[in-house]
């Protein structure tokens, strides 16, 4: 298995775990039991789970009106989009430069 495949699997797992944390928090909010902190939800989003967090927020209708959480999550999502775009644009050039020595 090559590095790109491993990174894709890790990326998918982090997003699935983040989605599940949002789902767990939504269920806990309904049941009145222990909740996942907003800080923890944002940490998982920041560490690569922003797409899972955004999907959970929309699909589960969870934390959609809560500020500043909503704005912070959107900022993380935008940051990840910018970083991914930069990697796609500059990555091949940097890779060739590193290979050339």
Q: What is the pLDDT of residues 53-88, one digit of tens each?
A: 999 999 999 999 999 999 999 999 999 999 999 999
Position with higher pLDDT, 24 vs 99: 24
Q: What is the pLDDT of residues 6-60, one digit of tens each?
A: 999 999 999 999 999 999 999 999 999 999 999 999 999 999 999 999 999 999 9
Position with higher pLDDT, 3 vs 10: 10
Contact (Cβ atoms closer than 8 angstroms) between residue 47 and residue 41: no
**In the predicted model, is pLDDT for residue 101 greater than 80?**
no
What is d(CA 25, CA 60) in angstroms, rounded to the nearest whole number? 10
Global pTM value: 0.89
Distances (CA, A) of 91 to 10, 28, 36: 19, 42, 36
């Amino acid at each position: 298995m090559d590095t790109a495949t491993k990174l894709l699997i890790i990326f998918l797992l982090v997003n699935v775990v983040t989605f599940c944390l949002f789902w767990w928090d939504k269920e806990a909010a309904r049941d009145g039991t222990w909740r996942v902190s907003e800080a923890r939800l944002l940490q998982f989003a920041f560490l690569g789970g922003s797409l899972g967090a955004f999907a959970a927020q929309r699909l589960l209708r969870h934390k959609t009106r809560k500020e500043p959480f909503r704005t912070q999550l959107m900022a993380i999502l935008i940051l990840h989009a910018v970083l991914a775009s930069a990697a796609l644009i500059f990555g091949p050039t940097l890779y060739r430069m590193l290979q050339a020595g």
